[in-house]
Amino acid sequence: MSVVHDQHTETNPWEAQAARFELAAKKLNLDPGLWKILSQPAREITVHIPVQMDDGRIELFTGYRVQHSMARGPAKGGIRYAPEVNLDEVRALAAWMTWKCAVVDIPFGGAKGGIICDPKKMSRGELERMTRRFTAELIEVIGPEKDVPAPDVNTNEQTMAWMMDTYSMHMRQTVTAVVTGKPIEIGGSRGRREATGRGVMLVTLQAVKKLGRLPWDTRVVVQGFGNVGSYAALLLHEQGFKVIGIAEWNCGLHNPNGIDIKKLFEYKAATGGIQGFPGADAADQNELLVSECDVLVPAAMENQITTLNAAKIKAKIIVEGANGPTTAAADDILQEKGVFIIPDILANAGGVTTSYFEWVQDRQGYFWKEAHVNAELEHIMVDSFQAVMHYAEAHQVNNRIAAYMLAIDRVASTIRTRGIYA
């Protein structure tokens, strides 16, 4: 099952995605024509966005939108603002979105977008002007029936509100369903903010149950205390798991008796970070990743578990809250160690699933209670976990390749049924 890796594959998310796709496609005996279609994005858009900065100068930002597949429905995927955004990263994330939507069986294809910028060095006004101009540049390719953006790294509900408003101004009518992850007062869904973390919690519960463990005897380390990591930690804590470590980009916390995540939420809200939290000892954020624990939740960025640290991982279960946190080369090492991995395209699919609920509610003009959103999410996440486990056992493959096989099978079946327009 191993694949030949080189340094480029190790660090390039598109190459890593392609390596997993190839393994799964071979296992499925995928038709060569479908292989060609699914191995490349359907459309890649690059735009250069002029923005007037607060000091009067004009800055030119580069933005991308990649639509990998729209066979099963409108493309769906987040938009990230970061200095390291590049086309290969966006391509990989778009493909992962295609597979993620197919794994949880919702009627979307995959897309992703990003702008090369450092939002920490930009004012609110500069971010708004950049977001609105980026939206205007994409006006022909996004829309409720075409491509539905959402928040991602360094974007949030406010970013989506600006996008929705800009799109609506161009359409001369309010179009709430053009983006998801919006504020509730303008068509957002209850439960959306916590949804990715809730999905992580739900599949973690399924994994410990499958492996014969109990939540209160299970020690968890979470990497990342942004939207995904913080809510995953909080919801796992509420389920009785002992969250003993939190790793952030600049610091870490450790308490072998468990960290009170509710108090950590309050502390972060008051101070803006987790550093100095009195309910835990300071710890090296990189050491926490390889520390003694039962469940590791990487919920930060790509390429966190690599050939440099995979052999040192002590967790029995890895639940990928982030997209692409484990490199393809590291997968082989973890498989040899017998680590039970819940791959990103299943583990963090709670976000896009609840985005789907938001899109449905916007189109209906009828909004659900939070309990209903959470119940529907649980139903889909548990069913999807069972479907991936079934594929893994039936085909004698690891969980990641099983998830890819399930997803590719569903997308390929749709393309076969629709046929090729010529």
Which residues are known to be catalytic?
A: 112
Strand partners, 223: 247, 298
Number of CB atoms found within 10 A of residue 216's CB:
10
Which tokens is 125 given? Answer: 């006004």
Distance CA 128, CA 139 (A): 16
* Alpha-carbon separation of residue 323 from 14, 30, 301, 375 (angstroms): 12, 25, 7, 24
Distance CA 198, CA 202 (A): 6
Strand partners, 314: none
Torsion-angle region of 167 (φ positive above 0: left; ψ -120 to 50: alpha; else: beta): alpha
218 close to 242: Cβ distance less than 8 angstroms: yes
Q: 3-class secondary structure for the chain?
A: CCCCCCHHHHHCHHHHHHHHHHHHHHHHCCCHHHHHHHCCCCEEEEEEEEEECCCCCEEEEEEEEEEEECCCCCEEEEEEEECCCCHHHHHHHHHHHHHHHHHCCCCCEEEEEEEECCHHHCCHHHHHHHHHHHHHHCCCCCECCCEEEEECCCCCHHHHHHHHHHHHHHHCCCCHHHCCCCCHHHCCCCCCCCHHHHHHHHHHHHHHHHCCCCHHHCEEEEECCCHHHHHHHHHHHHCCCEEEEEECCCCEEECCCCCCHHHHHHHHHHHCCCCCCCCCEEECHHHHHCCCCCEEEECCCCCCECCCCHHHCCCCEEECCCCCCECHHHHHHHHHHCCEEECHHHHCCHHHHHHHHHHHHHHHCCCCCHHHHHHHHHHHHHHHHHHHHHHHHHHCCCHHHHHHHHHHHHHHHHHHHHCCCC
Amino acid at 20: R
